Amino acid sequence: ATPPPAPVPSLRSRFVDLGTVGVDDGFRRPLAAVHFAAEAAEEPAGSLAPQLTVPMATDGQAGFTELWETTGPVTAGRYAGLRYSHDGEHLFCAGRIAPAPRYSEAVRQAYGEAFRLMESLGFPYAFRMWNFVSGINDSNADGVEVYRDFCIGRAEAVDRWATDGVMPAATGVGARGGGIAFCLLASRSVRPVHLENPGQVPAYHYPPEHGPRSPSFARATYLAGPDGAPGHLYVSGTASIRGHRTVHEGDLDRQVACTLENIDRVVGRDNLAAHGVPGGYSPADLRTVKVYVRHAGDLERVRRLCRDAFSPEADIAFFNVDICRADLLVEIEGIIV
Ligand code: 3HB
């Protein structure tokens, strides 16, 4: 007789004290840890779960760790320049690109390796990516903005590996420490649903005024639970953009309001129904929230503006980093579980 199929593992993330990697308590096991620290650091030796340190802590604070945990048994390894782990259903993959005068080639290669890893291990569906890009608004050696340079390389990798699983929810924000750090989550059996915002042009259709290759990501991605159980909704880094243009340039309060409205529209019942996704949510349903603020002097005000928008149950982190467009003052992401 064939044994009953193993239950599909469930994934969760939470913000914990910096450096915590979690313990295997027989039920939850650490899949990966992203350390948002003050300083860059190499991955500690001997770690089963991948650990990625990103120097983004703000305000002289110690930072924190975003810990990914799963109910499944964890397998981990290295592939090309990447570190990965999986629980049979969810693949976590992390990589770094060294500081360079131009990035598109290295980004194409690194993303190509990530897509090859997904293919070879059998996790065809990317559902969330993060890109922490040092000097994101600086010019590269050819006078092209680093974010646009990054987008060229990523788009070329997506062209090569295009399936409906490679343009998921994403974040692309500034970081310190030099180079690019990225991580990606992909699923084996559950096919994600990628969502757009009816009030925004899909980023992958942005016109060339925003760069030679448009950014390859969806506004949110829904990953159903096992056997159709309620799933998780991964909301991309969201900002004050209507259509494809930045709105409320120079007006922090209005940019925050527009950002929250955009999230509200993406996760609201009408938009979910239009994408065949159950439920209906608002920003108050976000759980692990990251708020990226361009100017350190705006942090307090953004904290205040966000106070009523999010639940007291949410883990919320504020960062002082650059954002992908020079005229954006704030960007917000989160996960609805
Ligand atoms: C991205 O290029 O992946 C990206 C950038 C953002 C927000 C979301 C995604 O500023």
ipTM reported for the complex, 2 dp: 0.96
Q: Calculate the CA dihedral of residues 214, 175, 238, 35 and round it to 10 degrees.
A: 120
Q: What is the pLDDT of residue 230?
A: 81
Could you give the residue numbers annotated as active site? 331
Which amino acid is located at 251 in the chain?
D
- Using alpha carbons, select from 322, 321, 318, 320 the residue that is nearest to residue 310: 318
Q: What is the pLDDT of residue 27?
A: 81
Residue 172 near ligand 1, beta carbon < 6 Å: yes
Q: What is the pLDDT of residue 165?
A: 67
In order of 15, 241, 311, the CA distances from 284 in angstroms are 17, 20, 5
Beta bridge partner(s), residue 193: 222
Give the nearest ligand 1 atom to 236 CA. Answer: 8
Q: What is the pLDDT of residue 58?
A: 75
Predicted TM-score of the model (pTM): 0.95
Helix (H, G, I), strand (E, B) or coil at 326: coil
- Which residue ranges in the chain fall short of pLDDT 70? 5, 164-165
- pLDDT tens-digit map of 234-292: 999 999 999 999 999 999 999 999 999 999 999 999 999 999 999 999 999 999 999 99
Residue 170 near ligand 1, beta carbon < 6 Å: yes
Residue 77 neighbours by CB under 8 Å, 6+ apart: 83, 84, 85
